[in-house]
Amino acid sequence: MALATLGLLAALPATLATGLRVLSPTTERWAKAAAFIPYGLVFWLPAAVLLALAAVRAWRHRSSGRVTLSLLSLVTVAGLGATIVWHAPAFTVDQQATTTAPLTVVSLNVAQTADPAAVARAAQGADVVVFLEAAQHWAQSMPASFRQEFPYQGPEPGDVEDAVIFSRHPVTPMGPLPTSSMGQWTATVDTPQLGEVRVVGVHPCNPYCRGGLWAQEAATLRGWLADLDRSIPTVVAGDFNAVDDHVTMRALYADGWRSAAHLAGAGFVRTWPANRRIPPMIGIDHVLVDQRLTATAFSTFHVPGTDHLGVRAVIAGTGVQ
């Protein structure tokens, strides 16, 4: 009885997580809950084991509930299997061959207060750096060493408003994205590895914005990306305010965008909140690439003064046109 009770208790949050994955909620309240869908695996596993043991014991003692327990055990195994299938791609390295030298992209939501010196150290060696929630005064406070390593930027210093792209290679600013609650920007970077690369720094609204803005701004971003001229490789980096299981991210993946973390087999990447005593709980900071690109490495880093971990993706061309 105790095994069955514990198994059913574990199955409750697991069922909720799976239900949220299947139903794909778009309301802010349920979007907040859906951010924890990956943790369904943590509950499905003990639920399956406990109910299986309870079923075996019931059959041995020929208890009246043995058929019910067997069915419940099968349900938990099915839930566990579905969850594994959903998340297995994040742990599987892309086998596509690369055809160019690597390009390193760093992205960080600096929350306007990240330590500039620490950020400069973390960005060393990158080719392109994308900052979100970067107020003009913050961007201008970056140390001289950073400016020397990344002499090009978009927008221009006097026009920075929440989003800015720095590069060690020449940048052609293309302008802001459609009106949103937070600044977003795009630019073209002329790289020696890949030639021209479009870099998009994104930051759609979070589920706390209310008024349906979370779903609306994600849909606006998706539409804008769908209308892009795909003649050059494109990297989309930033704070998406959504985890891989959210319907907004799954829509982007369905459109052909690929997660650099998944391509590199980085697994369950968590980036927020990063300013607590406990590790970050959810992964809302991403780097996406189109079919022309793949990722060979993906990692996170911590700097003081922001509630986000930064992400670093090493990408390369695939030869796909």
Whether the CB-CB separation of 254 and 224 falls below 8 Å is answered with no
Listed residue (68, 60, 21) closest to 44, CA to CA = 21
E strand or H helix that includes residue 263: helix 260-263
Q: Is the pLDDT of residue 46 over 80?
A: yes
Predicted local distance difference test score (pLDDT) of residue 157? 80
Task: At 151, give phi and psi (nearest 5°).
Answer: -75, -10
Which residues constitute the domain of residue 145? Answer: 103-317
Predicted local distance difference test score (pLDDT) of residue 65? 74
Beta bridge partners, 132, equal 109, 163
Same domain, 139 and 189: yes
Q: Give domain status of residue 307, yes or no.
A: yes
Same domain, 62 and 125: no
Q: Is the pLDDT of residue 58 over 80?
A: no
Same domain, 73 and 140: no
Q: Give domain status of residue 6, yes or no.
A: yes
Q: Of 4-13, 133-142, 153-162, 266-275, which gets the smallest average pLDDT?
A: 153-162
Predicted local distance difference test score (pLDDT) of residue 80? 94
Each residue's pLDDT tens digit, 206-246: 999 988 999 999 999 999 999 998 889 999 999 999 999 99
Predicted local distance difference test score (pLDDT) of residue 69? 83
Q: What is the mean pLDDT of the chain?
A: 94
Same domain, 298 and 218: yes
Give this prediction's pTM.
0.94
Same domain, 86 and 122: no
Same domain, 219 and 122: yes
Strands (E), 219-281: 234-239, 258-259
Q: Give domain status of residue 97, yes or no.
A: no
Q: Is the pLDDT of residue 97 over 90?
A: yes
Q: What is the mean pLDDT of residues 170-195?
A: 92
Same domain, 121 and 59: no
Whether the CB-CB separation of 145 and 171 falls below 8 Å is answered with no
Q: Is the pLDDT of residue 320 over 90?
A: no
Same domain, 82 and 108: no
> Domains in the chain: how many in total?
2
Give the list of residues 6+ apart from residue 22 with CB closer than 8 angstroms, or none: none
Each residue's pLDDT tens digit, 77-95: 999 999 999 999 999 999 9
Same domain, 150 and 255: yes
Q: Give domain status of residue 98, yes or no.
A: no
Q: Give domain status of residue 268, yes or no.
A: yes
Q: Give domain status of residue 96, yes or no.
A: no
Same domain, 174 and 258: yes
Same domain, 143 and 166: yes
Q: Give domain status of residue 66, yes or no.
A: yes
Give the list of residues 6+ apart from residue 241 with CB closer than 8 angstroms, or none: 203, 204, 205, 206, 207, 214, 218, 284
* CA trace torsion 129, 138, 272, 127 (10° rounding): 10
Q: How many CB atoms lie within 10 A of CB 306?
A: 24
- Distance, in Å, from the CA atom of 9 to the CA atom of 36, rounded to the nearest integer, reads 17
Predicted local distance difference test score (pLDDT) of residue 128? 98
The residue whose two tokens read 């670093």 is 312
Predicted local distance difference test score (pLDDT) of residue 148? 97
Predicted local distance difference test score (pLDDT) of residue 179? 77
Six-digit token pair at 124?
Answer: 């060393």
Question: Going by DSSP bridges, is the β-strand pair 234-239/195-202 parallel, antiparallel, or unpaired?
Answer: parallel
